[in-house]
Each structure stands twice: as structure tokens, then as C-alpha cells.
Amino acid sequence: MTFRKLRIKKICLTCVKEFEILESQRIGKYCSTKCIRFSGSISDLKKHTGKGFWQTASEEEKIERLRLNFGRIVIKSDDCWGWKKKLLKSGYTTINMGRTKALLGHRLSWLIHNGPIPDKILVLHKCDNPSCTNPDHLFLGTQLDNVRDMEKKGRRVNKGMKVKYEQNYARNDGRT
């Protein structure tokens, strides 16, 4: 004796198309992942695909979501921009991208206001305030640029490392 799997017809809540699901699923509200994403229901997206927004979204969707989150969290002023969320022990800001990945706030600010950051390039602060996300206070540089900037501003903690950094990065032009 064989059992047939019963199918149920449903109407998509987003696009109003008719679609079929197995009777055992029962909870189908949307016909596709695209419709779930369009509806904004992250919990339904996770149920449908087993993955959350950050695993399924396109690069444009991710950047738009980060831009919206950044706008809600940043406190803009004429000088350094503040941050509404908790800071890391180091004083830097972060914004989460799902459960396992985070992006530093100043790197996100550069990404939103100036575009992509090349590989092996850092986003440095002119103002020496690690929690600042004002794009006017940020600039790109290599690790060697960061060390030289720190030395120039008198912030070097371990002065014995200067020779090692200078030799290592001068040889490699900042690329390890």
C-alpha cells in the first residue's frame, strides 16, 4: 500500500499567486524566498530556507540594510559622530551582520559614504577617537601608515617595535 502526499493550494501573501505545498507543511504563506524577503518577515525567511537574511541577501540588499541600521545607531554632530550602542573594550563601534559576523563602525561608515575598501587596507582615524564614525575624520592607509601615524601623534606604546615594523613594512611596502 502506497501513500500519496497530499498537496494543498494556498495564496501567497506578497504576490497573491496560487501555489501548492505538502499537507505536512501546513504553514506556507509565501510562494518563494523572494516574496518572503519582500514581505520583510525574517522569521518566515529562516523557516522557509533554513537561512537568515545575511545568508540569502544580495550585496546591494546587505549594504542597504547596513545603511539603514547605521542611520539608526549613529549620533551625528559637527565633530566626531557618536554611537547609540555599546562600545567594544577597545572603544571601537560594531554593527552585527547576523549572529556570527560583525563589522567595525568606522569601516561601515567608509563603505557607506566612500565605497568599498580594498584588501589589506585599513580605515584610519584623523581624530584618534576609535568610536568616531564621521567619514570626514577617516582615511585609508596600510598598516605601515597606521604605525607612522601613531608614531607621529605620540601614541606608540611599545617603542621597541618601531624597528621591526619599519623593516618589515618598508620591505613589503605595507603588504605582508
* Rounded distance between C-alpha atoms, residue 127 and residue 134, angstroms: 10
* Domain residue limits, the chain: 7-56, 59-141
SS3 87: coil
Report the percentage of the chain scoring pLDDT > 70: 71
Angle at 123 between CA 174 and CA 155, to 5 degrees: 80
pLDDT of residue 176: 45
H/E stretch holding 83: strand 82-83
Alpha helices in the chain (DSSP H): 33-39, 42-49, 53-56, 59-73, 105-114, 143-152, 162-172
**Which stretch of 21-25, 49-53, 118-122 has the lowest confidence by average pLDDT?**
49-53
pLDDT tens digit string along 7-37?
778 877 766 778 887 776 666 777 777 776 6
Residues 128-156: b if buried by 16+ CB within 10 A, e if exposed: ebebbbbbebbeeebbbbbbbbbeeeeee
Specify which residues 142 forms β-bridges with: none
> What average pLDDT is seen over the chain?
79
